[in-house]
Amino acid sequence: MSRAQRGWHEGFCIDHTPLYNEPSVTAHCSWCFEETSHTIQNDCLLNRMTFQGTVFACDSCHRATQHCKKCDAMCRISERGSTPLCFACCDLVSWDDPQAARDSVTIHGWCPWCVNQTEQTLKVHFKSTNNTSGDIFQCSQCSQEIKPCPCKRSSIIASSKKSKCKPCQESRGERMWQDIQTKFTQLCNSYSLELGKQEMQRKSKYQEKALNAGLIRPFLLLVSMDPRMRSATAFKLDIPLLHYEILGNAHAEADLILFEPKKGLQRRTNSIFESVGVSTKCNWYQILRRAIHDLSDAESSLKSKTAKETFGECANPSSKVLHTLEMELLDHMAKRHVQMLNPELRQKAIELYEKDEIYHMFDELHEEGCQIHSICIMFIAIAISSGMQSGKLNMDINQIHYNEFLEYLRSYLGGTNAVGDKVHSAQFAGTQVVFFIARVIVVGSIVNLVGTVLFPPFLPFVSAGLFCVGVALFVAAFIYRPSREISCQATLLIVFQQFLLATSKMDLPVSPRSRVAK
């Protein structure tokens, strides 16, 4: 029998849990630099065929590792062309002193994402030497990927093709970062739930645009967010929100997150046909269904419908149908997240949730009949982690007392703490490109066959026309391919804001105007 908890259950008993009985190796880890045990996570045939090799996980830091190609230590999993050697073989570190090793792969400077002076740790090392130029680092505060700038005072966004940081490009120096930081800090300090409510009720051209696109509900959730949470949502879409002049205008920021031409939520979630204009662009109903499929590999309980069929629901911010989809998405994610938690953290979250005073904080959601126990447990676990990281809760989970956590949770629900949850990466959705091209080939073959039978003299012209159309569609498939593995993460943060508002007893405003799908 597997263990059951309120609102979720473990899928396997301990004897049959995958990987519990798999062999492990003991070796130095290129992530935590300690000598630890590493348990096999993936040893499938596909890995062997692609020379990826057996994938392990360090039992200490839980990062993915592989065997080094030169020694018995473990290297970081090879991705994006990174080196297949451990950091010792690259002459980056020595195994003798783990702390010195961690310091040697850490730099300090301004992060272009969160605009703070932070520690930035090496994440992806490409060369088989100790040369780290061009490597990808990760900010310790916002977890975004960056590259070091030659000036060594600040960094560059990893996806940027620029070779210098923004202050170096504009010859403005650190003063540029300081000005942005001051402005953003003031915005964060002035935020309150009452201000979020006022932003939801304010009218603007951006609100009208979101309404017409069937995205009024995520728009209102975005404008109600703490500026830190809204910027984190933009970061998930690879949009450096703090660099834009619109910073401070919640409606303009929400519009950018939803409709940015290349990286916006709608663009990243659109299918190829929707992106090229053959079909109507996706609305919130479709975005939620696709996120459920990508995150849980399961279909939603609600049927697939076109944008026109669901426009009426998507034009209503208080739609029960959309609320059901959001709770379904959170439930799928929460059950998965809870099972992945550190056992001590999971048990502490369950223990605190069972306390009557904390349990009844979520009564409004309980009364709606939602199966939200796993969501609440996940939320409490996130709150515990956030409190520990900010120093407001004891770093020892077992020493966190009920009264201490209750006080912190009240402030957390009051909107005085930013939510920076790292959601699990969604499954890769680019296979749609393959299916799209396959459909083009099948249709082309059928047309070619019919042309051969019915119109033999025109066959060369038909073939030439099909070739041109095929090439155009092939190019469009790669230019307009969806990136739902990225958009899912932003979708989760937006949906999580709805959960936060519900726990704070704040409702979304009534629909600005009643419309029905034409």
Q: What is the pLDDT of residues 80-107, one digit of tens each?
A: 778 889 999 999 999 999 999 999 999 9
Q: Are residues 31 and 66 in the same domain?
A: yes
Q: Is residue 248 part of a domain?
A: no
Question: Contacts by 467-470 with C-beta closer than 8 Å and gap 24+?
Answer: 469/444, 470/440, 470/441, 470/444
- Residue 29 in any domain: the answer is yes
Query: Quick check: 435 pLDDT over 50?
Result: no
Q: 179 and 132, same structural domain? A: yes
Q: What are phi and psi of 138, to 5 degrees?
A: -130, 130
Q: Round to whole Å and give the CA distance between 465 and 451.
A: 12
Q: Which two tokens stand for residue 295?
A: 């995150």
User: What's the CA dihedral at 425, 431, 432, 436 to 10 degrees?
Assistant: 170
pLDDT tens readout for residues 6-16:
333 344 444 44
Q: Would you call 1 exposed, middle or buried from its count of C-beta atoms within 10 A (0-12, 13-18, 19+)?
A: exposed
pLDDT at 413: 55
Which residues touch 263 (CB under 8 Å, ≥6 apart)? 237, 238, 239
Distance CA 89, CA 363 (A): 56
From 136, 157, 185, the end of a domain falls on 185
pLDDT score at 458? 55
CB atoms within 10 A of CB 393: 21
Percent of the chain scoring above 70 in pLDDT: 73
For residues 67 and 23, membership in a common domain is answered with yes
According to DSSP, residue 11 is labeled: S
Q: Is the pLDDT reported for residue 423 higher than 50?
A: no
In a shared domain, residues 111 and 176: yes
- Tokens 């030439």 found at: 464
Residues 127 and 149 in one domain: yes
Q: Are residues 156 and 89 in the same domain?
A: no
* Confidence grade of residue 428 (pLDDT, cut at 50, 70, 90): very low
**More reliable by pLDDT, 371 or 69:** 69
Stronger pLDDT, 114 or 300, i.e. the higher one? 114
Q: How many residues does the chain have?
A: 518
Average pLDDT, rounded, for the chain: 78
What share of the chain has pLDDT > 90, as a percent?
A: 35
For the stretch 494-507, pLDDT in tens is 988 888 887 777 77
Contact 85, 72 (CB under 8 A): no
53 lies in the same domain as 130: no
State the alpha helices, DSSP H only, in 237-361: 250-259, 265-269, 272-275, 284-296, 311-314, 320-340, 343-353, 356-359
In a domain, 361, yes or no: no
Q: Is the pLDDT of residue 287 over 90?
A: yes
Same domain, 143 and 178: yes
Query: Is 26 a member of any domain?
Result: yes
Res 434: pLDDT: 41
What is the rounded average pLDDT of the residues 42-57?
A: 65
User: pLDDT value at position 517?
Assistant: 40
Residue 490 within a domain: no
| pLDDT value for 4 | 41
The model's pLDDT over 336-347, given as tens digits with 9 standing for 90+, comes to 777 767 778 888
| pLDDT value for 462 | 56
What is residue 170's three-state secondary structure? helix
Please give the biggest Cα pair distance in the chain: 86
Look up residue 283 and give its two tokens.
Answer: 């609305």
Strands of 15-81, DSSP E? 24-28, 35-42, 55-58, 64-67, 74-76
**pLDDT over 50 (residue 431):** no
Is 425 within 8 Å of 489 (Cβ atoms)? yes
Is the domain of 167 the same as that of 90?
Answer: no
**Residue 335 in domain:** no
Residue 35 lies in a domain: yes
Higher pLDDT, 508 or 223: 223
- Give the whole-angstrom CA distance, residue 481 versus residue 53: 29
**Mean pLDDT across 410-425:** 40
Edge-to-edge strands, sheet with 145-148: 106-110, 117-124, 136-139, 145-148, 155-157
Can you give the pLDDT at residue 312? 92
pLDDT band at 515 (very low <50, low <70, confident <90, very high): very low
pLDDT bracket for residue 282 (50, 70, 90): very high
Greater model confidence, 271 or 99: 99
Residue whose tokens read 């259950």: 9
Over residues 97-120, the mean pLDDT reads 94
Q: Give the end of a domain, one of 79, 97, 115.
A: 97
Residue ending a domain, among 47, 69, 97, is 97
Sign of CA dihedral 359, 365, 366, 372: negative
Residue 492 belongs to some domain of the structure: no
> Which pLDDT score is estimated for 295?
77
pLDDT, tens digit, 9 for 90 and up, residues 297-332: 777 888 888 889 999 999 999 898 998 898 888 888
Output the six-digit token pair for 18: 């995958």
Burial 258-275 (b: 16+ CB within 10 A, else e): bbbeebbbbbbbbbbebb
* Phi, psi dihedral angles at 95 (to 5 degrees): -70, -10
Q: Which two three-digit tokens encode residue 237?
A: 């879409």
What span, in angstroms and rounded, lies between the C-alpha atoms of 91 and 105? Answer: 11
Distance CA 32, CA 477 (A): 41
What is the reported pLDDT for 24? Answer: 80
Same domain assignment for residues 475 and 438: yes
How many domains is the chain partitioned into structurally? 3
Q: Which domain holds residue 66?
A: 4-97
207/251 Cα distance (integer angstroms): 7
9 and 78 both lie in a single domain: yes
Average pLDDT of the segment spanning 167-194: 90
Given a cut of 70, is residue 17 above it in pLDDT? Answer: no
- Same domain for 9 and 82, yes or no, is yes
* 398-419 mean pLDDT: 60
pLDDT score recorded for residue 12: 42
**Both structure tokens of 285:** 């109903």
